[in-house]
Structure 1
Amino acid sequence: MKSVETDILLVGGGIMSATLATLLQQLDPSLSMTMVEQLDDVALESSGALNNAGTGHAGYCELNYTPQAADRSIAIKRALEINAAFEISLQFWSYLVENNALPSPTQFINKTPHLSFVAGDENVNFLKNRFTLLSQHHLFADMQYSEDKHQLNTWMPLMMANRKTNEKLAATYVAHGSDVDFGALTRHMVTKLKTATNFNFLNNSRVKKLKKINSNWHVAIQNKSSKHSQTIHAKFVFLGAGGGALPLLQKANIPESAGYGGFPVSGQWLICNNPEVIKQHQVKVYGKAPVGAPPMSVPHLDTRTINGKSALLFGPFAGFTTKFLKQGSVLDLAKSVKPNNLKAMLGAGKHNIDLTKYLVGEVFQTHAQRMQALREFLPQAKSEDWQLANAGQRVQIIKKCNEKMGKLEFGTEIVATQDGSLAALLGASPGASISVQAMIDILERCFSTQLKTANWQQKIKQLVPSYGESLIENADLLKTVRKRTLNTLKLN
């Protein structure tokens, strides 16, 4: 069996691997890298445009980032953290654009105002209180709020047509929101990576085994078409394969992975096929999720730019699946159950029966039922203008929990070995939007020695000028970096 040496092995050809590879290449161009993808090309699973929301998640419109407690108090901490993390992504992308490592920003990101929209007295009160809290912070100082029908019509004319005159409505609006084609962004990054002679891309290739021997990981790779096998000896391994990261982490059999499980969730979109309707909606509008729904199923009506073309999507409609990837196996969930996570899986299952019932019910919705949900946003929507399409798979994190044996978590999480030789990214939203912050977290955990050197410190401050400082606490710094990123990425 052929053996190949590499400094960095990246498993999965999505936005996470592309971002980490690009960061490392910028910090140390001498590093040899190999990216392994089991499909024909990069960005065909979670990073593909139709497989995710395409929202530059910044907390402007996502109401689930500001949960309301039983006493009606609203927590804004997570929205602040996600907003600051997205600003990190914008800084890095700006650097790459300025240095010709990415093409014109309109090829992967476009200005798209972000709105939160609610109806009914209780929801309007919630949104108003949310606005009051957020707008007092410099990160959200540009947010606007209105209950005025004329203003709402200016912000979202398509949604305001044919509404009842006595309907109690409210919305918040942030003009510099964005729509991101993470598939296009990934492809552009990998195209640039491939120009380096020490970067190798292996498609149609699957990881069969991972084993740490002395200071290197020995990773057995097999080409799915030719069945040719090779072993890659890597100093560092990153498992960034979306829903496929958990099975790979289990193959690695590191102590840090014990107790982790996954809860797969599928998704679907209603996609508009009427050009006249599409051109009337130029914003992203998020509402409130139904009671019992997972965060990824927060309903939203979005204008999208996919492969350079305008599109209009509504959803996502969540559903239950046993696959971990869109092109995965129905046995994925069963195969992920191991002795070290059985207790956590059973505990999470026991305490999320209602969620499972909800997801199964979503699978069996009719087109008429989905159209009814759409008409909460778009009263005049016509069934013939919309068709159903599959979105991507998400695998939510299951972890050990003393009180409940296991708990289901929404978000992203890094699992890394103590010696920093392997790291994996698990979870989902806000995912791709905070990819740069997530990959910097991996640098800090797995490349801490190099990151402390003067060379890396100087370089990372060029890549992300706010690195090492808090955008949540430093209003002047935010003003400086946001002015630059909005100009560079044409979002102002």
Structure 2
Amino acid sequence: MGNRQTRTDVILIGAGIMSATLGSLLKELVPDWEITVFERLANAGEESSNEWNNAGTGHSALCELNYTPEKPDGSIDISKAIKINDQFQVSKQFWSYLVNSNLIRNPRDFIMPLPHMSLVQGENNVAFLKKRFKALSNNPLFQGLEFSDDPKKLKEWIPLIMEGRTSNEPIAATKIDSGTDVNFGALTRMLFDHLKSKNVDIKFKHNVDDIKRTSDGSWELKVRNIDSGTVERVTSKFVFIGGGGGSLHLLQKSGIPEGKHIGGFPVSGLFMVCNNPDVVAQHHAKVYGKAKVGAPPMSVPHLDTRFIDNKKSLLFGPFAGFSPKFLKNGSMFDLLTSVKTDNLVTMLAAGAKNVPLTKYLIEQVMLSKEKRMEELRDFVPNAKSEDWDIVVAGQRVQVIKDTAADGKGTLQFGTEVISAADGSIAALLGASPGASTAVFVMLELIKKCFPQHIKAWEPKIKEMIPSYGVSLLKNPELFHEIHSSTTRTLGLSKNLPLQIARRSVS
């Protein structure tokens, strides 16, 4: 086996949406930097970013009820919803910049306009949804949000869901037309095609076996060619670990103090998919419900229209499950080998705290297809088993860490960046809202890891992200201007035809 030594300016580990976004931003800011990407699989966007491994929701808190919890006094906390919506606007601005600069293809190849809806049943839940609607509807970020508890109106909005419904239980929904369905797999592949055209060295089927600090403060990676078995040593001043569930192991190998006392808990997922065109034609929205008591936030049930490979289908789920793998293509020993002396107490504390979650996951694993169909029929009363198949979705590794507020072993449901104090290495951990907020998250990483360059880079960043450094909530006129611009550029107006002219690729 060889042991070739090479050096590069930036190393990106993992060819998912996060590395694609960071690489694309850096190539616009410093075109002459050499960037090298290592991916263990044969193509880009094959793990969490793949279109079949996630729900494809452009998360902007338009329909996700877990982003607007009810406070003890009965009021609705919309702070997280505002934060996530604002961050998704940043993603849309960057995608619009890439389209306007002819750097990626037709936006309709990765993003489609689609109403986002919340649906609840039961008197208490209807009261909650009404309060949520009142809390959001006057906010400029949620302009256009509608509420109805009238079954006739709901039948106009969601005929498939209302058809055959016999329960007299109160039912209500909110609807907003500015939602999106995003094919993050397609977007990831577009961005890597763009990066390849900019001479970024993308090495598929290459596994990073080890990572260590060198005497001059650089990072040396031991990289193995999976096909040939040859090994090379690659050195860089900056490393980004964007390997999805695989990021935790590499963060631990780096040995940085910030990576201590952190664990991960893997949650797998299944979706029911319908390809019967007669059924698919009856539904056009992403409809989110409320999670069951004891269920993790990522298991909120939803019925989604999806656009994949120019084909419309319906997905329902997710049904949670458990596998010790940290990646869909990972090892059965991933969870076991992630337990170290520094995070053992943290992991044990998490186990003690999350007995209800463990029970819920066991119950979900044991569900038969017919039991899953029964849950689907809470959404679609007339659903027929022969119209629906099961698709295995991706693995999500939830971050476990010690927090001041909740103590040791606290499960974190969200996206988190862990970086060294000197900014020389950073790893992305966690799950939803993940890909939807990739641009915002990567800009925050750039600020933290390259503070010496930010002043010089700021004009270019503002060219790409006009709202950079500005609160859209506090500047509603700027929000309306940006919203109109991105809607037009990305073809998100419901009045536009489904096919628009293709743009060239640089």
Bin of the TM-score, shorter chain as denominator length? over 0.9
Contact 2:272-2:389 at 8 Å conserved across structures? yes
Following the alignment from structure 1 to structure 2, what is the Cα–Cα distance between the partners of residues 55 and 75?
22
After superposition, what is the alpha-carbon deviation per residue over 1:298-338, rounded to whole angstroms, capped at 9, x for unaligned?
Answer: 00000001122111100000012211000111110000001
After superposition, what is the alpha-carbon deviation per residue over 1:143-200, rounded to whole angstroms, capped at 9, x for unaligned?
Answer: 1111122221221111111122734211101101000000000000000100123x10
Higher mean C-alpha deviation, range 169-178 or range 71-80: 71-80
**Which one of the candidate residues 423, 428, 434 is aligned to 2:426?**
423
Secondary structure of the structure 1 residue equivalent to 2:295: coil
RMSD: 1.0
After superposition, what is the alpha-carbon deviation per residue over 1:427-484, rounded to whole angstroms, capped at 9, x for unaligned?
Answer: 000000000000001001001111111xx11110011000011112211111111010
Following the alignment from structure 2 to structure 1, what is the Cα–Cα distance between the partners of residues 454 and 93?
19
Contact 1:18-1:189 at 8 Å conserved across structures? yes
Q: CA deviation at 1:41?
A: 0.6
Following the alignment from structure 2 to structure 1, what is the Cα–Cα distance between the partners of residues 141 and 403?
34
Contact 2:112-2:180 at 8 Å conserved across structures? yes
The amino acid across from 1:426 in the alignment is L
Task: Give matches, 1:129-148, under 5 Å.
Answer: 129-148=131-150
Secondary structure of the structure 2 residue equivalent to 1:452: helix
Match of 1:470 in 2: 471
Match of 2:198 in 1: 196
Match of 1:414 in 2: 417
Distance 1:476 1:352, change over 3 A: same
**Which one of the candidate residues 53, 60, 71 is aligned to 1:51?**
53
**Which one of the candidate residues 337, 345, 348 is aligned to 1:346?**
348
**Which one of the candidate residues 223, 230, 242 is aligned to 2:244?**
242
After superposition, what is the alpha-carbon deviation per residue over 1:193-221, rounded to whole angstroms, capped at 9, x for unaligned?
Answer: 00123x10111111111111113111110
Contact 1:346-1:405 at 8 Å conserved across structures? no
Secondary structure of the structure 2 residue equivalent to 1:206: strand
**Which one of the candidate residues 111, 118, 121 is aligned to 1:119?**
121
Following the alignment from structure 2 to structure 1, what is the Cα–Cα distance between the partners of residues 30 and 152?
54
Q: CA deviation at 1:401?
A: 3.5
Q: CA deviation at 1:490?
A: 1.2
Distance 1:291 1:184, change over 3 A: same
Higher mean C-alpha deviation, range 429-438 or range 67-76: 67-76
Q: Between the two proteins, what is the percent identity of the paired residues? A: 50
Match of 2:408 in 1: 405
Secondary structure of the structure 2 residue equivalent to 1:102: coil
Match of 2:480 in 1: 479
Match of 1:87 in 2: 89
Following the alignment from structure 1 to structure 2, what is the Cα–Cα distance between the partners of residues 397 and 136?
34
The amino acid across from 2:464 in the alignment is L
After superposition, what is the alpha-carbon deviation per residue over 1:105-145, rounded to whole angstroms, capped at 9, x for unaligned?
Answer: 10000001000001111111000000000112111122111
In the alignment, structure 1 residue 436 sits paired with structure 2 residue 433? no
Following the alignment from structure 1 to structure 2, what is the Cα–Cα distance between the partners of residues 2 and 331?
30
Task: Give matches, 1:144-293, under 5 Å.
Answer: 144-164=146-166, 166-197=168-199, 199-213=200-214, 214-293=216-295
Following the alignment from structure 2 to structure 1, what is the Cα–Cα distance between the partners of residues 272 and 488?
33
Contact 2:241-2:251 at 8 Å conserved across structures? yes
Secondary structure of the structure 2 residue equivalent to 1:110: strand
Match of 2:454 in 1: 451
Following the alignment from structure 1 to structure 2, what is the Cα–Cα distance between the partners of residues 156 and 292?
28
Following the alignment from structure 2 to structure 1, what is the Cα–Cα distance between the partners of residues 444 and 411?
22
After superposition, what is the alpha-carbon deviation per residue over 1:362-402, rounded to whole angstroms, capped at 9, x for unaligned?
Answer: 00101111011101110000011111110000000000246
Following the alignment from structure 1 to structure 2, what is the Cα–Cα distance between the partners of residues 170 and 53?
23
Following the alignment from structure 1 to structure 2, what is the Cα–Cα distance between the partners of residues 328 and 360?
21
Higher mean C-alpha deviation, range 153-162 or range 436-445: 153-162
- After TM superposition, what 4+ stretches of structure 1 lie above 4 angstroms from structure 2? none
Following the alignment from structure 1 to structure 2, what is the Cα–Cα distance between the partners of residues 62 and 468?
26
Following the alignment from structure 1 to structure 2, what is the Cα–Cα distance between the partners of residues 475 and 218?
47
Contact 1:344-1:401 at 8 Å conserved across structures? no
The amino acid across from 1:447 in the alignment is F
Structure 1 gaps of 5+ residues are: none
Secondary structure of the structure 2 residue equivalent to 1:219: strand
Q: CA deviation at 1:352?
A: 0.3
Following the alignment from structure 1 to structure 2, what is the Cα–Cα distance between the partners of residues 332 and 224?
19
The amino acid across from 1:417 in the alignment is A
TM-score (norm 2): 0.95
Following the alignment from structure 1 to structure 2, what is the Cα–Cα distance between the partners of residues 292 and 416?
32
Following the alignment from structure 2 to structure 1, what is the Cα–Cα distance between the partners of residues 486 and 275?
33
The amino acid across from 1:412 in the alignment is T
Q: CA deviation at 1:405?
A: 2.2
Contact 2:123-2:169 at 8 Å conserved across structures? no
Structure 2 gaps of 5+ residues are: 494-506
Following the alignment from structure 2 to structure 1, what is the Cα–Cα distance between the partners of residues 400 and 43?
29
Higher mean C-alpha deviation, range 110-119 or range 212-221: 212-221
The amino acid across from 2:124 in the alignment is E
Secondary structure of the structure 1 residue equivalent to 2:127: helix
Distance 1:165 1:345, change over 3 A: closer
**Which one of the candidate residues 26, 31, 34 is aligned to 1:24?**
26
Paired positions, count: 489
Contact 2:61-2:81 at 8 Å conserved across structures? yes
Match of 1:128 in 2: 130
**Which one of the candidate residues 299, 304, 308 is aligned to 1:297?**
299
Q: CA deviation at 1:354?
A: 1.0
In the alignment, structure 1 residue 33 sits paired with structure 2 residue 35? yes
TM-score (norm 1): 0.98
Following the alignment from structure 2 to structure 1, what is the Cα–Cα distance between the partners of residues 299 and 209?
33
Following the alignment from structure 1 to structure 2, what is the Cα–Cα distance between the partners of residues 116 and 23?
34
After superposition, what is the alpha-carbon deviation per residue over 1:238-266, rounded to whole angstroms, capped at 9, x for unaligned?
Answer: 00011111001001111110111001000
Contact 1:163-1:379 at 8 Å conserved across structures? yes
